[in-house]
Amino acid sequence: MQRYFVSQPAVNNRFCIIGEDVHHIVRVMRMKENDQIICVDPLKKAAICTIAEITDEQVVAEVVQWIEKSSELPIDITIVSGLPKGDKLEWIIQKGTELGAYKFLPFISARSVVKWDEKKAAKKIDRWQKIAKEAAEQSHRTSLPEVMSPLQIKSLLKISEGYNHKLIAFEEEAKQGEASVLSKTLAKIEKGQSLMIVFGPEGGLTEQEVALLKENGFESCGLGPRILRTETAPLYALSAVSYHFELME
């Protein structure tokens, strides 16, 4: 059943769907009145709904049944990616959303080859957020991940102050066989807490960046014995979190 994130809570048990989703419902999915969809409101509550009315500007959906079960990870995990080349960040956002990431924060690393163009920033971020929305709908999320504008490391450190746990995925740790920090961190995280994990761009993080992060409460960890690409490492970490909190139980 197709899922849509709506901008306002239900009024009198009815949702009002506007914007691009109207086109998707009517032109792409070719739905009609009495067809069923799932609506997710800003409070992360999902409901099975029946389409009650379709106009050029909106689709009105009436709640049939609220869905109690949540598909969200029990912790809020933010993926911090050193700005990579090409469409790699789009891949990280799409697949990371499917795996349960709460937020994506690109940062401008010393070894980032891509130069961030502020003139194209708004269009780029809109595209990233749209990718996250579509992936969240496809994977039946009740939370829509936020994709932030790329930051310098000093701004990243300021944001990190609000997190319960902070890790750096550092390839030098993997080369040296480090294998305990991630598992120990997951073992002590309580449900409802937050975790931030920093990943470098293609060339990795510099020793200076790692040192600065450590000075601000981050722990350095390896992700197994193999060296992972910048677009693979976040998915490995998210899979480990899902296994620990969802499958082991």
In this predicted structure, the answer to whether residue 110 has a pLDDT above a threshold of 80 is yes
Query: What CATH architecture is 3-67?
Result: Beta Barrel (2.40)
Indicate if 76-247 has the same CATH topology as 3-67: no
Would you state the pLDDT for residue 240? 95
| Domain spans, the chain | 3-67, 76-247
Strand order in the sheet with 3-5: 3-5, 36-40, 46-54, 59-67, 14-17
Could you tell me what percent of the chain has a pLDDT over 90?
A: 86
pLDDT tens, 18-45?
Answer: 999 999 999 999 999 999 999 999 999 9
Secondary structure class of 97 (helix, strand, coil): helix
Instruction: Say yes or no to pLDDT of 192 above 90.
Output: yes
CATH number assigned to the domain covering 76-247: 3.40.1280.10
| CA-wise closest residue to 99 among 199, 247, 237 | 237
Instruction: Give the model's confidence band at 77: pLDDT under 50 very low, under 70 low, under 90 confident, else very high.
Output: very high
What the block records as the tokens of 173 is: 């740790």
Query: pTM higher than 0.75 for the full model?
Result: yes
Instruction: Note the pLDDT tens digit of each residue in 213-243.
Output: 999 999 999 898 888 999 999 999 999 999 9
**Does residue 175 have a pLDDT over 70?**
no
